Homo-oligomer: A and B are copies of this chain.
Amino acid sequence: MNKIVECIPNFSEGRDSNIIKEIEEAIINTKNVILLEHSSDYDHNRSVFTFMGSMEGVYDAMYKATSVAVNSIDLTKHEGKHPRIGAVDVIPLVPVQNVTMEECVELSKTLAERIYNELGLPVYLYENSASKPHRTNLADIRRGEFEGLVEKMQSEDWKPDYGTKPHPTAGAVVIGARKPLIAFNMQLNTANIEIATEIAKKIREKNGGLKCVKALGIMLETKNTAQVSVNLTDYTVTSLFEVFDTVCNEASKMGYEVVSSELIGLSPARAFIDTAARYLKLENYSYKKIIESHLLNLEI
């Protein structure tokens, strides 16, 4: 079984289709890599690509795509709703098959080194690759954004892991290995955003709710629907089942219900398999009851 890594780079360009196309081509023209999803948002002025491949494939594709971004995206002229510190803002690397978190951390550092050495782009390592505990969280690294980078990098706490000062037009990039994150939204049968916000507050870890859950109430204007938007950072700690069930219960207490849900990006199979086992009340469940769980043990 080959070692497979997923990569979900975020670029600070969601409007210029030529630049977006050039980034996409850098990825899809690389060997041993496949593009899984791509979305660009005008208001955020941001594009997200999801691709996966061998360690070498992901390394090559990501270096090339970063090179395009550094040469084409000028942060001094960039505006958009989403916070960002660089032309390529963040590069998460996620183990998918036959690969350890440690190997992904190693890959993130090799990639970071080349990006700094050859493109002059300073790098912060985050999540499992972080060099210090206070630099684990993306939001903390990104605080102050591109415009605040010169000042931020002078503080001892926020000296980059590679480099010392921002790239003049491309800023800096955050790179790191992390567990798969599940971005999962639930729609309520109400247009009252207060209800969604109330539920979000109850379930998020920050307010004493479910571990590994970040949540927001969001108004979907076009659908006239209130949505509870969730990022689940470790589905092995809090299951997707638990998130959904808790939101359903909280909504029900207020006289509402969850009418539908949506998945942003992709999810690992196991998050869904565990959820089904809980729903089915399966008493003899273990992941070994799933045929495909044994494929990795078959080294042929």
Contact = CB atoms under 8 A, between A and B. Distances in A.
A253 interface: no
Contacts of A298: 2, 4, 32, 34, 52-53
A72 interface: no
A97 interface: yes
Contacts of A281: 258-261
Interface of A: 2, 4, 6, 32, 34, 36, 52-54, 57, 96-97, 180, 184, 240-241, 244, 258-263, 266-269, 272-273, 275-277, 279-285, 288-295, 297-298, 300
Given A32-B300, A276-B279, A280-B275, A267 B240 contact: no
B269 A285 contact: no
13 contacts: A34-B297, A34-B298, A36-B291, A52-B291, A96-B291, A184-B280, A244-B279, A259-B281, A260-B281, A266-B291, A268-B292, A269-B269, A273-B276
A9 to B, nearest CB: 16
Identical chains bound together, number: 2
A283 B300 contact: no
Given A180-B291, A294-B36, A275 B279 contact: yes
Nearest to A300: B32
Nearest to A33: B298
Given A240-B280, A280-B240, A269 B262 contact: no
Given A34-B294, A52-B294, 4 more contacts: A2-B300, A244-B279, A261-B280, A263-B285
Task: Return the 8 tightest CB-CB contacts between A and B, nearest first.
Answer: A272-B276, A275-B276, A276-B276, A272-B273, A260-B283, A269-B292, A279-B279, A32-B300
Contact of A273 (B6, B52, B273, B284): B273
A263 B291 contact: no
B279 A266 contact: no
Nearest to A293: B269
A290 B272 contact: yes
B283 A261 contact: yes
A107 B292 CA distance: 21
Contacts of A244: 279-280
A184 B284 CA distance: 11
A240 B290 CA distance: 14
